[in-house]
Amino acid sequence: MWKIPVSSVDVAGLEEEYVVDAIRSTWVSSTGKSVDRFEQEFSEICNTKMTVACANGTTAMHLALLGLKLEPGDEVIVPSMTFIASANAIRYCGAEPVFVDVDPNTWCLDPRAVEAAVTPRTKGIMAVHLMGHPADMDALNRLAAIYGLWVLEDAAEAHFAKYKGRMVGSLGTMGTFSFYGNKIITSGEGGAITLNDPRMESHLKTLRGHGMDPRRRYYFPVTGYNYRLTNVSCAMLCAQLRRRDEIVAQRRKVFAHYQESLRTIPGIRMQPVAPWAEPAPWMFSCLVDPNSYGLSRDELMQGLAAEGIDSRPFFHPLHQLPPYRECAARQKHDLTYTEQLGMNGIMLPTYNTLSSREIESIAATIVRLRARQMRFVA
């Protein structure tokens, strides 16, 4: 048991009441008022015409890619610095993820690297809004227009983030979200696709529900999937949406407190924020420069763990993981910055109920570990 876990869920508000209502209504499966209400409210918030709720973020991505008719032989450009599900969803369609580097100023897809990776087989770009920071969508949409590609936003970590004042999820061809337990709003497991095309919406809903014809019950014109989300989960999401301003404001306070406390520690570099970005406060992330901090990222994590403080390394770059090593080696793209982030990036405990005292104790531990090491070196 950690004294301070790296993330924690707060469902102590309206969630119980909403979930109990859903249970009492007996609509516990995947139809019901809360599904419709969640889909409508989420679209309103994200400024899209519609939302399709899904079992989780990965099924949302897979379903969106199926809707975009991704097939074997196709390629999709994806950052190597992301959660593995972004690439897995591409592979579920038999297509090939093409791994490119991220921009040091955003930690998201570098548009120049994307352009260099386009081939005649490229069908789309998966714009991951990594660690809550939006990708440079204007640059990516411009490339998409030039080369005839679609852009799918993976906004799993970036709920309610803004790009030039506009909501993520509304900026590409479609957007996908995850409501896993460590995301900003959660239903334990859950996901959603945001979009503006009514024909695509109806196609995705058909695929989501076993491929059943919406006008002819138990007739199946296509091979579908069971990627539905339950009414009970949607009830929890409706409660989380009502509380979203409070949850986001509390997480922003945690971010501000960390920034204030860690700013002056040599060798600790904050997550960059592009001038056009209003990032979502997902996990507080920073980079450890072993030369000036005195300890490596892994040593810092061990030091924190010894004090009962959990933390997380950044994602292993996907091109270094067994399922993708070979295809990335064939692609031969420069992934230098991704590798640096993978080696030096750390996420500190972030959740809306984390107290000021706890943040101060985490920051004090980071200062103390460095001081001890520096004395040792001298």
Ligand X SMILES: *Cc1c(COP(=O)(O)O)cnc(C)c1O
Residue whose CB is less far from ligand X, 76 or 128: 128
CA 101 to chain centre: 17
Give the CA distances from residue 4 to residues 1, 137, 199, 258, 361, in Å, rounded to whole numbers and listed in that order: 9, 36, 47, 15, 10
Q: Where are the alpha helices (DSSP H) in 118-174?
A: 137-147
Q: Minimum distance between the CB of residue 83 and ligand X, rounded to whole angstroms? A: 4
- Identify which range of 149-157, 221-229, 336-344, 345-353 contacts ligand X by CB under 6 A: 149-157
Q: By the 8 A CB rule, do 208 and 228 touch?
A: yes
Amino acid in position 135 = A
- Identify which range of 82-90, 240-248, 290-298, 368-376 contacts ligand X by CB under 6 A: 82-90
Question: What are the tokens at 211?
Answer: 């491929």
Amino acid in position 259 = Q
- Binding of ligand X by 101 (CB under 6 A): no
| Burial track 242-254 (b if 16+ CB lie within 10 A, e otherwise) | ebeeebbebbeeb
- Binding of ligand X by 51 (CB under 6 A): no
**Residues between 187 and 206 with contacts to ligand X, criterion CB under 6 A:** 191
Question: What are the tokens at 158?
Answer: 């970036």
Phi, psi of 110 (to 5 degrees): -85, 110
- Identify which range of 12-20, 95-103, 154-162, 341-349 contacts ligand X by CB under 6 A: 154-162
Select from 128, 137, 195, 335 the one that contacts ligand X (CB under 6 A): 128
Residue whose CB is less far from ligand X, 293 or 314: 314
Cα–Cα distance for residue pair 200/202, rounded to 1 Å: 5
Select from 57, 97, 132, 317 the one that contacts ligand X (CB under 6 A): 57
Q: Minimum distance between the CB of residue 120 and ligand X, rounded to whole angstroms? A: 27
Question: What are the residues facing 139 on neighbouring strands?
Answer: none
Cα–Cα distance for residue pair 160/141, rounded to 1 Å: 20
Q: How many residues bind ligand X (CB under 6 A)?
A: 14
CA 268 to chain centre: 23
Residue whose CB is less far from ligand X, 110 or 157: 157
Cα–Cα distance for residue pair 61/126, rounded to 1 Å: 10
CB neighbour list of residue 308: distance below 8 Å, 6 or more residues apart: 2, 3, 4
Residue whose CB is less far from ligand X, 155 or 362: 155
Q: Minimum distance between the CB of residue 154 and ligand X, rounded to whole angstroms? A: 5
Residue whose CB is less far from ligand X, 47 or 88: 88
Question: What are the residues facing 175 on neighbouring strands?
Answer: 153, 194
Residue whose CB is less far from ligand X, 63 or 295: 63
Q: Minimum distance between the CB of residue 32 and ligand X, rounded to whole angstroms? A: 21
Residue whose CB is less far from ligand X, 87 or 262: 87
- Binding of ligand X by 236 (CB under 6 A): no
Select from 178, 187, 206, 338 the one that contacts ligand X (CB under 6 A): 178
- Binding of ligand X by 56 (CB under 6 A): yes
- Binding of ligand X by 154 (CB under 6 A): yes
Question: The dihedral of CA 266, 269, 275, 279: what is its sign?
Answer: negative
- Binding of ligand X by 107 (CB under 6 A): no
Q: Minimum distance between the CB of residue 171 and ligand X, rounded to whole angstroms? A: 16
Q: Which residues bind ligand X (CB under 6 A)?
A: 56-58, 82-83, 85-86, 128, 154, 156-157, 178, 180, 191
